[in-house]
Amino acid sequence: MAVSHLSNRLVEVRPLDASRRADFFRLHSDANGCGWCFCTAWWVPGWDGWGDRTAEQNRIVRESLLDRGEYDGYLLYVDAEPVGWCQAGPRDRLKKLVQQMNLAARPDTWAITCFQIVPKARRQGFAARLLAEVLRDLCRRGVQRVEVFPRRGDSLGVDDLWTGPEPMFRSAGFDVIRDDPKRPVLAIDLTLQSC
C-alpha cells in the first residue's frame, strides 16, 4: 500500500496481517488510551453486558479472530509507529451491525465500522489519509460499495467517534443513504472511483 510523507513524516497504511499482529496490540493498548475494546464491539452478540466486559475478555475475542485468519482492517504508521486503525470488511459478516441498523443483506457491500487515531496523532490529517488509503485499496481489490455508520449529535466527545466522524466521510465522497438524527448510514460507490 501507500508510503508517503505528510509534514516531513513517513506515513504508511498497511493491511492487518499475521506479520502485523504485534503492532495491532501495541496500538490497542492502555498506553494509547485504547486497551479495552480491541475492536471487538461488532463481533460480540449484543450490547447487553458490553460495558461489563473486561479487557481480557475482549482480547480473547480478538485473538480468536486473528487465529482464524480474520484480519479485518488497516494500520496507519507514522515514522514506523502504529498510530491508527480502521476496521473494514464485508458488512454482512457482522450480524450485530446488520441487526442493529436494520440492514438488508447485501453481499457487494463492505463496512468501515471502527476508526481510531491515538491521541498524540490526532488533528494532523492522519485520519483522512488513512481513510483515503483504505478506500483506494478496497477499490483496487474490487470492492464495489462501502458503508459507514457515524454517530451524530451536538455534544459528541472523542469516545463517541469510534465509528469515525461524519464530516470526514462526507469529505471523502460518502453520501447519506439513510438519514437519522443519531446514527445515519452513509455509502460510497467505489465503481465510480478511479483506483
Q: Is 16 buried (19+), middle (13-18) or exposed (0-12) by CB count in 10 A? A: buried
Pick the closest to residue 82 from 126, 138, 45, 37 (CA basis).
126
pLDDT for res 6: 55
Which pTM value belongs to this model?
0.92
9-20, pLDDT tens digit by residue? 789 999 999 999
Instruction: Report how far residue 56's alpha carbon sits from residue 37's, in angstroms, rounded to the nearest whole number.
Output: 9
The helix/strand/coil state of 153 is coil
Parent domain of 53: 3-192
117-156, pLDDT tens digit by residue? 998 989 889 999 999 999 999 999 999 999 999 999 878 8
> What is the tally of structural domains in the chain?
1
pLDDT(80) > 90: yes
162-178, pLDDT tens digit by residue? 999 999 999 999 999 99
* E-state strands within 42-194: 73-78, 81-90, 109-117, 145-148, 175-178, 185-189
CATH, residue 85: 3.40.630.30
pLDDT for res 7: 62
20-63, pLDDT tens digit by residue? 999 999 999 988 888 889 999 999 999 999 999 999 999 999 99
Instruction: Report how far residue 79's alpha carbon sits from residue 12's, in angstroms, rounded to the nearest whole number.
Output: 8
pLDDT band at residue 3 using 50, 70 and 90 as cut-offs: low
Q: Is 164 left (phi over 0), alpha (psi -120 to 50) or beta?
A: left
Instruction: Report how far residue 50's alpha carbon sits from residue 194's, in angstroms, rounded to the nearest whole number.
Output: 40
Residues 6+ apart with CB under 8 A from 46: 96
- Residue 160 φ/ψ, nearest 5 degrees: -85, -10
Pairing of strands 109-117, 145-148: parallel
